[in-house]
Structure formats: C-alpha cells, structure tokens
Amino acid sequence: MKRILLLLLAHVFVTSLTAQKNLPALGKIDKADLEMKDCDFDKGAVAVTLIDWGNVYYDRGIEGVSFLNTIYEKRERIKILKESGLSYADVSIPYYDNNNEEKIIKLDAYTYNLDDAGNIKVTEVNKSSTYSKRINKYFSKMIIAFPEVKAGTVIEYKYKMERKTDQNLKSWFFQDRIPTRYSEYQINIPKFYRFSVQPTVIDSIEVKEEMNDELISTHKGSLSTQVLKKNFIMRNLIGIRDEPFMGSPRDYQQRLEFQLSQVDYGDGNIVDLRMGWSDILHDLKEDNDFGKQLEWAPSNTEILIKEAAAIKNQEARMKLIYTYVRKNMSWNGDDDIYSGEGINTAFKKHEGSSGDINLLLVCLLKKANVDAAPILLSTRENGLVNKHYPFLKQFNTVMAYVKLSDKYFILDATDKVSNYTLTPESIVNTLGYIADGEAGEWLDIIDQRHKYKVMTAVHGEIDTAGIMKGEALVNCNGYARKQRCDTYLKNKDNFKATYFSSANTALKIDELIVNNVEADSLPLEQKVKFSAVLNSSGNYSYFNMNLFSDLDKNPFVADDRMADIDFGFLQDFSMFGNYTIPQDYVFEELPGNFSMIMPDTSIIFTRNIQADENLLNVRMTVEFKRTFYQVSDYPEFAAFYKKLFAKLNEQIVIKKKTNL
Amino acid sequence: MIKLFFSIGSLVFISSVFSQPGLYDVASIPEALKTNANSVLRDERIEFEVKAVDKAVFKFHQAVTVLNEAGRNELVFNETSDEFQSLGDVAIQLFDSKGKSIRKYSRSDLIKQAYGSGLVPDGKIYYLSIPAPEYPVTILTDYEIKFNSLWSYPKYDIQKADQSVINSVFTVKVLSELDLRYKAKNTSITPQISSDSKYKIYTWSAGNLEAIKTEKGIGNGDGLFPKILISPNKVEYDNYPGDISTWKGLGIWYNNLVKKDNTLSPAYSEEIKKLTAGAATSIEKARIIYDYLQKNFRYVSIQLGIGGFKPFSADFVHKNKYGDCKALSNYMQACLNAVDIKAYSAWIRGSSFPNIVDADFPSDPFNHQILCVPSIADTLWLECTSNIADFGVLGSFTENRSALLLTEDGGVLINTPKSKASGNFFSSTSTITLQPEGSGTASVQLHTTGEYKEDMLNYVFDHKKDDQKEFLIESLGFLQPDAFELTYNKSSAQAETNIKLDIEKIPEFTAGSKMFLNPRIYKLWTYALPKAENRTQDFYFANPFIKTDTSIYKLPEGFVLETLPKSKDLKFEFGSFKSTYQYDAANKSIITTARLQLDVIKIPAANFLAAKNFFNDVLTEYTEKIVIKKL
C-alpha cells in the first residue's frame, strides 16, 4: 500500500482510530464557555480561539483547469474575553479571486451570548451583516460584522471554499496572536497524490490517520480510490506576542506547510515533483526569472564590465561593480528571490525589487569574471529556514555570494550605507542557500568581523555654579554605524532626538557634527558639544556617567518571555569619561570599581573609576560574546540586564568642601 | 500598430525635453527657497471646472523637487476613486538634478486597492510609491478626475509644511449661475475674476514663498499654512440637490440626502422604556441608556451607502448591536426619543487642535458625529463610539470646537464645551517602607479621571501582567519592581487602583553610608518640551490636567535624615507646581507632596519659553534627592 509521505520532526504520537470526543456542533455551545472570564492557559488574553478546525478534501475538477478541485472547510470559534478584544469579532476572510481561483461557496456564522437570566442565546448572522469586497486585482475579502458582540460573547463562523487546484494545500497555523484552545487540521488525500509536510511544531501534537475507500467525482465521472485521512491536533497554545529582539514572530507560530511531492499514476508510474534541493536548483537555473537572467548582461554595461575586468585584484574588481550597482539602482522596497521585471528592464528603469537588483549584481560580477553566485535567503523579519524541507517559498530574498581565495562576501546592492565587508543586517544570523554548482551549498551566515560597536569619550568640566560643559566623541562601527546612518539619512532632526537628547533635560546639545556618513569604511563620527546643569540637593551635586552610550533604557523588563533573544550580531560598548570638578569641591564616596560576568561568560561588564584630586576618570565597557540566547536563559539574562543598567546609571556625588 | 504609436510618443517626448533643456535643473532654484525646505514646488497648475451642479473636472499638473529623504512623501501618488468620482489619465515623470528625464509612469503602473477606514471599505485607491534614485529628484505629475456628484469643492493648499513655492496657479471655472464662495486663510492673496457668457473664472496665483519649517507640538498645523477654502453654493449628490451656502442649508441638504430611519420599532421602544422605568429624571434615563450602549454595542465602521453618508437604521443597530459613529449616535438619539428626550446628531471635526471649522464659511470639513442633548444639564454631549468614555464627557478629540447640530430645521453651528483641568485628574498616594540595604516595599493608590482614566482602562485594567508592568515603568516612570500586585475597581468613578510593589533598590544611588532618594518612586511628569529658542508657532498639549502626589518614606532602622530638597512653588501664566518635603522625626518618616496643574492646552508661541522653563523645573525637581544616612 502506498502511503503519503509525511515527515514529522517533533514529539508526534500517532494514534490509530481511537474514539475522539466530538467537537460541539455549529450553533451549540457549552454554557461554561460563555461564563469563562479568563483563558486558563494564557492569563490576561483579550480573546481566545476555542475551536480552530480545517478540513481539506478533493472534489470534481474543471476540464482543462484542474483534474480535481480541492475543497477547504474552515471553522473558527472565538471567545471575546475583554473589551480590548472586540476587534476579533471583525472577521475578514481573504481569498484569491483572480480567475475565480478561490470561491467561498457557503458561509455560516453565529453569535453566542448569555442573556440577563443566564440563558444561552444563539443568534445566526444574517446576510445583511456579511459583505464581499474586492480588495485588488488578485484578492477579495469576505467580511463578517458579527451582531451582538460584547466582552463575554462567543462568535463562530464556518465556510467552505472551492479552490481550482489539486496541487496546493493550504498551510495550517495552529497558533496566532490570541491563544488557541483546540486546533485541528484534517486532510483527505487520494492515494495518487503524495504531499510532504514541513512542520514547525514544538509542543505536543496528536496525529491520527486512516485509509478509506472512497468515490471522488471528477469532470469525467467518478473515481474509486483509497483516500488517506489524516488529522493533526494541538491544544492549549499561548498567543504570540511581540518581544524585543525576537527575530520573526512567525518563527514561534506553530504550523504545518505542505508541498506536493509525487503523483502516482498507477502501475509503478510515479512522477516525482519535488525531491531535493538539487532538483529545485536545477529548475531555478532554467527559470526565466532567475537562472536565465544571469546569462546576458544588460546593454550599456559593456564598458563597466571591461573596466572591472581590467582590475587585477578580485576584491577591488568586485567592489567596483557592487558600488556601481548600488549607486545606480534604487530599491522599490520589495523583497523577491526572482527578477520579475527582468534585469534588463530593471536596469533601464534604474529601479527594482531585491531580486531584480541583486541578480543584476550577480550577472555583472560573473561577466567580469568574479566568482559570484546568487544566495537565497530569508530575512530575519521573514523567519527561519529549515534546510530539511526543500521548499523554495521559505526564502524571500536573494543576494550575491562572492567567493575569493581566502574569504567570502555577501553583497546586497539595495543597501546604500553599509561597507561591502559587512554581512547585511537584514540576514545576519540566518541560513542561506548558495544557488550554484550541482547541489548548491548551505551557509550559516554569521559575521565574525563586525560588531555593533559604540565607543564614547566624554570630557566634562564642572564649574562652581554647578554647570558641566563638555565635549564628546561618539564613534560607531559595524552594525551600529549602519543603523545610525539609516536614521541620519532619513531625518537629521530625528537622529539628534534619538541618539543625543536623553531624558535628562538639564543636558543641552550646543553642537552636533556628524562625519563619514558617506565614507562607509570609516566609523560614523559624532562630535558633540554640550552643557548640563548638575542636579543637586543640599550640599550635594551629582551627575550620571552614562552619557551618549546607546545604553539608556533596559529593554528586558518583562517577567515572562516566549521567544529566544536574537541580537543578530555581537555588541561592544565602551565609555571613557574624564571629569574635573572645582577646586573647592570633593568627591563623595565614589561608586567602586566593579565587574560582572554572565555565568556562561558571554557578557562582561567592567567599570573602573579613579579620582585624583579634582579629576575623575571613568571607564565602562560592556562586551558580548554571544549573539543569541535561548528563552530558557531568560531569567538569568534579565537579572543580569537589570543589574547592568543599575550599575551603568550610578551617579557621581560631589560636595563642597567644608571650612574647617 | 501599437508599436508605431509607442515610438511616436517617445519621439515627441524626447523632443520636448530637448526643447526645454534643464527646465527642472535643481541649480535654478534660488537658495532662499531651499532654506528649511524638504521639497520645492516648482510649478503647479490646477484647474477645476464645474460644468453643472453635479459635474466637474479636476485637472492637476505639478512639478516638485524633493531635496531629501524627509520630503519623500512627494514621491507617493495617492488618489481615491468611487462611484461619484473617477480617475482619468495619469502621467508621472522623474527628472534628475540636472533636469534630465529618467523615468516615466502611467496609470497602468498604479496599484489599485480597496480603500476605506473601517471594516468594510467603500472606495478604491490608486497608489504608487516611487523609489528615489538619489536626491534631489524632481517629480512631474499630471492627472485628471471627473466628478458626477458634488457636495464640496477642492481647496487650494498653496503651501505644505517644509515646502517652498516657486510658482503655483489655481483656477476654478464655474457656471455663473452657480458661482462659488471662497475664503483666504493665512494669506492675503485674492483671485483675479473674469467671466464669459456662461462661466465665471477665478484665478489665484502664488509664488516665491519660502518654506515654513514646522516646529514640534503644533497640533494639526491649521493656522500656519496659506490656503484658500472654496465651497459650492449649490450641490447635487446622488441626485439630491441642496443649497449649502448656509449652515442651515447644509443641514437641510444632508437630512434630505440620507433620510435617516431614526425611529425605533414599538417593540424595541418598549425595551428602552423598560430599561429606564426606574429613573426619575431625564439625566438618569440618559445615563442608563448610555451605559447600556457602552456595555452592549461596539464600533464597527462600514462605509457603505451614498459614499459612506448613509447610516444604518436605528432598528438595525438595536438588533445587531454595532455601527459606526453615525449609526451609533443616531441610535442613541432614537433611544432618547423613545423616552421623550430630544437629542440632535452633531457633526464635528475630530482631531488635535486648533479648531479648523470656520464659522463664517459654511462647508463640510467634518469627519465624526456625536450626540447633543440640549435639555439636560445645560446641554449634554455624548460620544457614542467609545466603550469607556465617561457619561457626558468629551475627550481631547472633540472638546472645545465647532459642531454642526442637525436639527429638524437644518444645521446649527454651536461650540462643544471646553474641558477643564479638573476633568483630567491623576492622584497618587504611596507609602514606601525602606530596608537598611536599600530594598523596600511600596503601596500605591491611584485615582484618575478623564484622559488618565482612559489610559488606565486602555492599558492597565484587564491587561496581561507584563503589559501592566511595562505601563508602570515606561509611562509612569516607576522604578523597576521585582514583583508587584495590581488590583483595581473597574466600576469606580475614579478607576481606583492599588499597587503593591517589591523593589530591590529604592534609592536612585547610594554613596557610602548615604542613600539618595527620589522625591517619589515614579515620575509625576516625564515630557521635556521641544526647544524653545525663536519659537514662532503655538504649542498644543493634548489636554489640561491636575496631578497630585503624596509619598511617605518610612526610614530603615538606624537611618536619619541628612538633607531635604527645598519646597517649590512655581508658576507660569497657564500652570502651577507646588511641592513640599517634611521630616516626621517621631515616626522616622519623610513626607513629600506635589501638585502640578496645567489650565489650558494652547501655549501661544510668545509664552512658550516660559512654559518650557516651567516644565524643565518640574523635571528637575525629580532629580533632587532626599539624602538619608546611617548613623
């Protein structure tokens, strides 16, 4: 018996046909769900999905379009717990409407409430509260405005969608912004189709399967075949939150994605549709929007290529072409692995997606005999790539990979400010696939050379009136340089407000000069002249040594965390300060020299403070040796951060000498 | 054939560029017009032709040089379209800094998308965001819109924020029998008026205007930029004619257009009567119905029916328990009618300040609808879309501005009440028990009204514990607690909230045997006003307010007071701050109090420096420390 290929990585247990507790029927509800006040497995949630159920099966196709259609049924029951969750009763269902590819053929919806006497009141949503609306050329939306919704209400809808495809199974997301109590996806696949499944599953999942003989109608009559019915069930999943330095929220959304891998035409005639990365790579090379684009350089690039090819040094040759492309092409903001426009057209228009621009870059590099290849990537925002699942749609962008004798570069010509040696910020700490050779090559993308580096040197002189006048030099390297240049180019006022006006109002920036914005091989140099009125109480005056350091506020104050901490790159902060105080003042007891280190030695903080008569020297450094922390490390990480910020912000107290 | 057309088109185009070499060369922009500018309006010619009471064509031609990334908005094309107005041909061209044409776009390059503010969108939007190859870059835009219904005319925005103007001409050609009304705002330019046998032609011209740099906190910015308001006398929309040259007429036309179904069916009417049966006075009845509305209905924006004008009937809202601002206020009106209380819908411009409605110039700048009950408590105003607003209280979105009452006799323009400082009240009382090593526990009680109460309801009550923690730390400036317990009484009028906190380190810092304590364990005020030098524009706060604090520090065993900050008594024209610090030696306690009050929302530019200094002093107060030391 042929089986659909299903690969599951996580804790899976397959039950045979055990009796399952049936889901409540549409229109029927337990009173307990209406009386529920909080979600017991995710306290404080604004709403909770009680039932999320999907079902896919095959039905009669359309001659000349698809052999079979797929029918997708979906049912969702949501409990509104709080007023701030009322928007979860504004439901809209997008569907791909181009050529009627998807069509909603049945929709039922209900609102459940308890009336004043405590009885269940079920209201069916009538037609006047549903709207179908075209959104653009491709998509329409079915919109349901549920009646009688307030905090405490349960809403439910179920629809049936006909899809003109037999090869594309909808992905299933078990987890969403609000918690989910029960989520089930059922697929019914005739035995001649085989799908591979890519699960992103951490919590326990229940899988059931059975094989049944069934009759399926096709446009040519009916077909008797065996159908594999498979159910995937997950329970009590918490809602996904946005957390600082979390990478992509999508990485934490447990889900299943499918891809048709084989069609079995009987008698041993099995056609493999997707087998491995090498097959995908082979197709990509033949693809008009990808591999074929690399064959010919656009016209009017001959001089550039000639000029580049004349340069002996490969790195300099590469740099010339990279600089040319990023200067001459403007990015339209779209990420793509393909060149939808074609690099020729894009070059003529001087604009395009990341696919247009970076495939152009690869093409020109190759023409100039630089060892370059496209590298497929998923940006940090888009989420992680799993190399065990050969699905091309995991990637959302492409860049140029250049291999020189002793090193390699990843170049992104949509980035206007980074130095070419900096691994692009949007993809650092991810996994890339070099689309080259027979099998391609995986690359763990890290940047050992560059850090997020901020160096601050402050010199301050305090006069007898309690005013500090000073100068500071702030140098930013690597990723810090990149981020600040982006901010600076966007809006200079905003740059000043973001990095140089702290909450400390007594501090006034008299002058700010920014150098090297264009010179990407040099640190971004920021020179500041400032004055500040010292805070004082009675005979004491005091000031903060943590000036312009980029470490103003602790971002990790939450007690709970769901996501890993992914900084992407190493960080390095150093602050040097020297301060003079008037002759008739003395330092009160100074905060001591201090250092602390994470138990795994991955973050080191040191503080040296030395006073010599009326001169104070301060040196503080924070150095990271890891870019990534698992969520299980969070308690000690957060405790470290709390102490770090407390120590950074300790103040220096001075006092007028008392006459003896 | 098609190919032939193409080549002719591009030939024509090329020759036109050659014939005007460097028309958009950036070098030809006078230096003075680059100062403070993110973009420069090089050439603008807008024509609006009213061919009939319900037919018009809008022709737009504009060249703008964008000098830097902050002026990027000028590279975004954005026009809506619906059953009453349709976008015609569009041509967009980009020129480099030398004035050489580098790119072209047409209507087929635009992205078409459903557009609307709510759940169900009504119109379509044509959209294109053009990436800038480099700055400066010049964009030339030409397009046309046809109207087949009219209820307003486009205004002439002569100058935008941070934009200078070289040359701009705005022409309106209107049937003489219709004519139009106009009013100049923030400018003295007047139109040239001419006429022919059929039309009257108004032409406004402007040029050589230096950029007006916007300062921070200017509210909606109305009152700063020159513009000409233009309004029809007669309109016809969806075949409903009207004369809107008076506020009264505008109201009559609208009543006529929507013919709102605003009577509850007898059965629903009975429900409302039953609900209010126990109430003796009108105000009690209104309060009960408003409470019922807030607890059972929700705001859902569905912009369908005559360009979003027509609201759902009162019966529909009663049955489904949702609606947009129009539907919910109409419903509230119907409920009040059912218990014999007269109420009127009121159009309002919900936004920041200043009031942009010009009483002398009837037109429709409104975007929101509320309800007015003249007979109760010297006129009661109700915001019907909020589940949390207090009964009869308008927030900063709608207070103190013009509202157009829609009465049975047409429109009547009146003012909404001005909110008072006492309407936005924040009070905190804390007791902090210190331990010798600096840790401690605190017990805090908060009472709030108005905007502060809304913050508590929106961000604290019913929220996840980490969200509450974030609010305490980020918004109120509390010391980071290691543990806390927050309890509240949702139904209390002042949103009473109790917080118990464990804090590892109460002093801001220590030096040897001394602890330096902040006047309180959170910040009463955190906002530093923008820079005050040479301020020329008025500054707007969101609301007036009163904030008070009492904090009691219980000193640890063995500690005594060394220094107390001096009490403050600060005043400026529109506000005051007072703080006191006392040592109660017998109980080993330090008691601090503070009271901050702001009476107005508008700070005239001339008073801004005083305001800035005042709030800086308030911020500085928090940096002063109570010093205690171990004996």
A window 323-352, beta carbon within 8 A of B: 328, 330-333, 349-351
Q: How far is A651 from chain B (nearest CA, A)?
A: 6
In this prediction, residue A502 carries a pLDDT of 62
- B625 vs B631: CA distance, rounded Å: 19
Q: Do A145 and B322 touch (CB under 8 A)?
A: yes
φ/ψ (deg, to 5) at B78: -160, 100
Would you state the pLDDT for residue A135?
Answer: 81
The pLDDT-based confidence of A504 (bands split at 50, 70, 90) is low
Q: A87-118: per-residue pLDDT in tens?
A: 999 999 999 988 888 999 899 999 999 998 99
Q: What is the mean pLDDT of residues A585-613?
A: 93
Nearest beta carbon to residue A90 from set B300, B387, B511: B300
Question: Phi and psi at residue A285, in whole multiples of 5°?
Answer: -65, -30
Bridge-based pairing of strands A451-462 and A570-580 is: parallel
Task: Give the integer Cα–Cα distance in Å for A550 and A564.
Answer: 22
Whether residue A489 lies within 8 A of chain B, CB to CB, comes out as yes
For the stretch A33-89, pLDDT in tens is 999 999 999 999 999 999 999 999 988 776 666 778 899 999 999 999 998 899 999
pLDDT for A234 equals: 97
Q: How sure is the predictor about B372, in pLDDT bands with cuts at 50, 70 and 90?
A: very high
Nearest CB partner across the interface for B320, out of A129, A506, A589: A129
First-last CA distance in chain B: 100
pTM comes to: 0.87
Question: Which residue type sits at A416?
Answer: K
Kindly report the backbone phi and psi dihedral angles of residue B6, in degrees, each rounded to the nearest multiple of 5, phi listed first.
-60, -50
Contact assignment for B114 to A537 by CB distance below 8 Å: no
- Within 571-610 of A, beta carbons closer than 8 Å to B belong to 588-591
- For A537-568, the pLDDT digits (tens) are 888 899 999 999 889 889 999 998 999 999 99
Of A43, A83, A330, the CB nearest to B133: A330
Q: Which of residues 82-111 of B touch A (CB under 8 A)?
A: 102-103, 111
Nearest-CB residue to A333 (from B119, B131, B319): B131
> Which residues are B112's β-sheet partners?
B126
Indicate the residue of A491, A554, A651 with minimum beta-carbon distance to B509. Answer: A651
Compute the distance between CA of residue A365 and CA of residue A359 in angstroms, rounded to an integer. 10
Q: Residue B111's pLDDT is what?
A: 86
pLDDT (tens digit per residue) in B136-182: 999 999 999 999 988 899 999 999 999 999 999 999 999 999 999 99
Query: How do residues A441-452 score in pLDDT, each as one tens digit?
Result: 999 998 888 999
CA distance A567 to B23: 49
pLDDT tens digit sequence for A159-179: 999 998 888 899 999 999 999
Which residues of A, range 115-134, sit inside 8 Å of B by Cβ?
A: 128-129, 131, 133-134
Structure tokens at B45: 């010619």
Asked if B114's CB is within 8 angstroms of A136's CB, the reply is: yes
B83 residue type, one letter: E
Interface check for A510 against chain B (CB to CB < 8 A): the answer is: no
Q: Is the pLDDT of residue B227 over 50?
A: yes
pLDDT band at A18 (very low <50, low <70, confident <90, very high): very low
Whether A542 and chain B come into contact, CB under 8 Å, resolves to: yes
* B465 touches A at CB < 8 Å: yes
When the pLDDT of each residue in chain A is averaged and rounded to a whole number, the result is 90
- The stretch B491-497 carries a mean pLDDT of 91
**Confidence band for B342, pLDDT divided at 50, 70 and 90:** very high
Q: Long-range contacts made by residues B282-285, C-beta under 8 angstroms, separation at least 24?
A: B282/B341, B282/B375, B282/B376, B283/B376, B283/B377, B283/B380, B285/B336, B285/B339, B285/B341
Q: Is A650 on the interface with B (CB under 8 A)?
A: yes
Residues facing B151 on adjacent strands: none
Return the sign of the alpha-carbon dihedral for residues A36, A37, A43, A47.
positive
**Cα–chain center distance at B500:** 36
pLDDT exceeds 90 at position B378: no
Average pLDDT over residues B32-37: 94
On chain B, the residues whose CB falls within 8 A of the CB of A135 are 113-114, 121
Q: Using one digit for the tens of pLDDT, what is the confidence trace for B93-109?
A: 999 999 999 889 999 98
- Read off the pLDDT of each residue in B337-349 and give the average, rounded to a whole number: 94
Cβ-Cβ contacts under 8 Å, B506 against chain A: none
Beta strands in B564-607 (DSSP E): 568-572, 575-584, 589-598, 602-603
What local confidence, expressed as pLDDT, does residue B307 receive? 61
Cross-chain Cβ contact A349/B103 below 8 Å? yes
Indicate yes or no: CB of A506 within 8 angstroms of CB of B623. Answer: yes
Flag if A133 and B121 touch (Cβ within 8 Å): yes
Distance from CA of B282 to the nearest CA of A (A): 25
* Tokens, residue B369: 């609808």
Cβ distance of A351 and B316 shorter than 8 Å: no
Query: In chain A, how long is the greatest CA-to-CA distance?
Result: 111
CA distance B622 to chain A (A): 9
What is the ipTM for the molecules in this complex?
A: 0.84
Interchain contact, A145 vs B509, CB within 8 Å:
no
Q: Residue B288: which of B275, B274, B299 has the closest Cα?
A: B275
Contact B563 A131 (CB under 8 A): no
- CA–CA distances in Å: residue B28 to residues B2, B21, B36, B65, B530: 38, 12, 17, 11, 35
Model confidence at B211: pLDDT above 90: yes
Higher pLDDT among residues B258 and B413, named by residue:
B413
Q: What was the pLDDT predicted at A200?
A: 87
Position B117 scores a pLDDT of: 58
DSSP state of B411: E
Q: How far apart, in whole angstroms, are the C-alpha atoms of residue B159 and residue B62?
A: 13
Distance (Å, whole) CA A346 – CA B559: 74
A84: chain B residues, CB-CB within 8 Å: 458, 462-463
The token duo for A592 is: 């001591």
pLDDT at residue B118, as a whole number: 61
List the single residue in B298, B563, B619 with the smallest CB-CB distance to A150. Answer: B298
Structural contact between residues B458 and B475, judged by C-beta atoms closer than 8 angstroms: no
Interface test with B, best of A41, A90, A517 (most B CBs within 10 A): A90
Residues within 8 A of B (CB atoms), A 192-231 only = none
The average pLDDT across A577-592 equals 92
